[in-house]
Amino acid sequence: MSGPGQSTVEVAEGLRFDEASLQRFLSAAGLPGVAADGPKLSIKKFGYGQSNPTYFLETAAGHKYVLRKQPPGKIIKGAHAVDREFKVIKAVGEAGFEVPEMHVFCDDAGVIGTPFYVMAFVKGVIPDNALLQLAKEHRRPAMKSIVQSLAKLHSYDPCKLGLLQDCAGKKPFGRMGGFYERQISTLARTSEAQVSGSEGKVPPMRHMQDLLALFKANMPEDRSCVIHGDWKPDNVILTRDSSGAPEVLAVLDWELSTIGHPMSDLANLCLPYHLGPLGAIVGIGSIDVDPDSGMPTEDEVHRTYCEAAGVKYPISGWSFFVSFSCFRLSVIIQGVAMRASRGQASSAAAAGNVVGMVMSADALCDLACDIMRKSFGPSTTGSRL
């Protein structure tokens, strides 16, 4: 196993399942190296945090696989949709994109308790967002490969991939157009619900209404393509050949993928360039553009993307895209604060830091507002979408 994202741990009690049932299912599905009456599969959990529990499977003969499933317990409607994730990975993989080979999807919760899928294990390096695991001379070419891979994803026609078709009575994978309008409206409602759900412990973000007004007044030109939804280096597996520059082997964690605006992915990748010390506080890090760091500047990232995607440089309205990514992160952190205020935190650290998370969410919202104001001028306070 290589890289912090590929380290494994023993499966905790609350995340265990019927291993014999899984082995019987995979044997019947014809997964190489798995036999119902053969040696038991070795099953461990990847230590790197995922909202969908992810497991490392290894057969006695050395075949390696990855199983990804819904978490146990009650699931919010539309969340943890591993069927959507399987569908998009399979679609882009068949089109030639860098993803693990998909083997089998199971929607029968009777097998291990929830729907799940199994894919190939890809060995490599999963870096952090500042590529600190890589030698300095490899960071710029590695980021270039990550950006070029993103441009390749955005080049696919969702219709030709079959992602706009109604499948077996289910809704299509996504809708063409209106991505930012829908996202901003949804995030605003989510934030309001989180405030009300905290019983006064999580206040409204102080500049959110100003920010919403700025968004509404400065919507970018509408564009649609397949987007990953959480594009960043720690969702990428890189080659680990020390003699050459790392390249993208596979892209992981497609649970937020949909049809959306391509700049949402690029802005998510570039967000650490804008966070400074706040990046470490909110857990995604920041990017040091000191010449000795080996990292490309944000402008280099833009140029690489525009050249690979065949779009005009400089990117029009870039401040909007970065500001939105910042706002989305603020709402996510506010949600963690709300759950912690209700005693539902997923970690002890979160449970004891409601005030700190509220301050972080506010700081991110303030930053998003500042980015918009510098480019587009002041808003009309109190305006709403």
pLDDT of residue 351 exceeding 90, the answer is no
**Rounded to an integer, what distance in angstroms lies between the CA atom of residue 260 and that of residue 251?**
18
Beta strands in the chain (DSSP E): 8-9, 42-46, 54-58, 64-69, 102-106, 116-120, 225-227, 236-238, 248-251, 258-260
Residue 204 lies in a domain: yes
Cβ atoms < 10 Å from Cβ of 280: 11
Confidence band, pLDDT 50/70/90 cuts, at residue 349: low
Average pLDDT over residues 176-198: 95
Q: Which residues sit opposite 104 in a β-bridge?
A: 118
Q: Is residue 230, in this structure, part of any structural domain at all?
A: yes
- Domain containing 15: what range? 4-120
Model confidence at 350, pLDDT cuts 50, 70, 90, reads: low
Q: Say if residue 115 is in the same domain as residue 244.
A: no
Lowest mean pLDDT segment, chosen from 64-68, 101-105, 253-257: 253-257
User: In this model, does residue 203 exceed pLDDT 90?
Assistant: yes
What is the CATH number for 79? 3.30.200.20
* CA neighbor of 258 nearest in space, from 160, 149, 183: 183
Question: Does residue 78 carry a pLDDT above 80?
Answer: no
Q: What percent of the chain has pLDDT over 70?
A: 91
pLDDT at 157 over 70: yes
For the chain, the average pLDDT equals: 91
- Which residue is associated with the tokens 């499948």? 167
What average pLDDT score do residues 299-303 get? 99
Quote the CA–CA distance of 160 and 208 in Å, as a whole number: 39
The residue out of 95, 120, 145 marking a domain boundary is 120
Q: Which two tokens stand for residue 286?
A: 């920041």
Which CATH number characterizes residue 361's domain? 3.90.1200.10
Cα dihedral across residues 295, 262, 308, 310: positive or negative: negative
Q: Which amino acid makes up residue 69?
A: K
Give the three-state DSSP class for 121: coil
pLDDT given for residue 52 in this prediction: 86
* Angle between helix 179-197 and helix 208-217 axes, rounded to 10 deg: 170
Query: Quick one: 218 and 281 in the same domain?
Result: yes
DSSP state of 11: P
> Do residues 367 and 234 share a domain?
yes
Percent of the chain with pLDDT over 90: 76
Confidence (pLDDT) at 286:
92
Claim to verify: residue 161 and residue 207 sit in the same structural domain: yes
| HEC per residue, 151-186 | HHHHCCCCCCCCCCCCECCECCCCCCCCHHHHHHHH
Residues 145, 67: one domain?
A: no
For residues 77 and 161, which has the higher predicted lDDT (pLDDT)?
161
Pick from 310, 273, 314: nearest CA to 131: 273
Does 259 share its domain with 110? no
On whether both 200 and 244 belong to a single domain, the answer is yes
Same domain, 146 and 231: yes
pLDDT at 14: 87
Give a yes or no: residue 309 inside a domain: yes
pLDDT-wise least confident of 5-14, 132-141, 154-163, 290-299: 5-14
**Looking at residue 73, what is its pLDDT?**
80
Same domain, 106 and 167: no
Same domain, 354 and 309: yes
Please determine, for residue 346, whether its predicted confidence score (pLDDT) is greater than 60. Answer: no
Cβ burial 359-383 (10 Å sphere, 16+ → b, else e): ebbbbbbbbbbbbbbeebeebeeee
Say if CB 1 and CB 8 are below 8 A apart.
yes
State the pLDDT at residue 195: 94
Q: Does residue 77 carry a pLDDT above 60? A: yes
Q: Which residue has the higher pLDDT, 342 or 68?
A: 68
pLDDT, tens digit, 9 for 90 and up, residues 107-124: 999 999 999 999 999 999
Dihedral of CA 231/292/283/99: which sign? positive
* pLDDT (tens digit per residue) in 234-290: 999 999 876 788 999 999 999 999 999 999 999 999 999 999 999 988 888 899 888
> Last residue of a domain, which of 90, 120, 150?
120
Would you say residue 126 lies in a domain? no
With respect to residue 381, please indicate whether it lies within any of the assigned structural domains: no
For 220-234, the pLDDT digits (tens) are: 999 999 999 999 999
Q: How confident is the model at residue 339 (pLDDT cuts 50, 70, 90)?
A: confident
More confident residue, 343 or 66: 66
Whether the pLDDT of residue 163 is over 70: the answer is: yes
Total domain count for the chain? 2
For the entire predicted model, the pTM comes to: 0.92
Residue 281 backbone dihedrals phi, psi, to 5 degrees: -65, -40
Within 13 Å and on the Cβ side, how many CA atoms surround 85?
29
State the pLDDT at residue 85.
95
Look at residue 127 and tell me if it is in a domain. no
Please tell me the predicted confidence (pLDDT) of residue 379. 65
Q: Specify the pLDDT at position 51.
A: 74
- pLDDT over threshold 50, residue 167: no
Residues 65 and 143 in one domain: no
The reply to whether 353 falls in a domain is yes
- Domain co-membership, 69 together with 196: no
Q: How confident is the model at residue 164 (pLDDT cuts 50, 70, 90)?
A: confident
Span 292-315, average pLDDT: 97
Joined together, the tokens standing for residue 326 give 């910042």
Looking at residue 170, what is its pLDDT? 55
Please answer whether residues 189 and 346 qualify as being in contact, where contact means their C-beta atoms are separated by less than 8 angstroms: no
Closest CA to 203 of 48, 98, 358: 358
pLDDT at 171: 63
Q: Is the residue at 286 inside a domain?
A: yes
Cα→Cα distances 330→287, 352, 379, Å: 19, 19, 19
CB-based contact 323:374 (threshold 8 Å): no
Q: What is the pLDDT of residue 383?
A: 40
Cα separation, 107 vs 369, whole angstroms:
43
User: How many other CB atoms sit within 10 Å of the CB of residue 196?
Assistant: 12
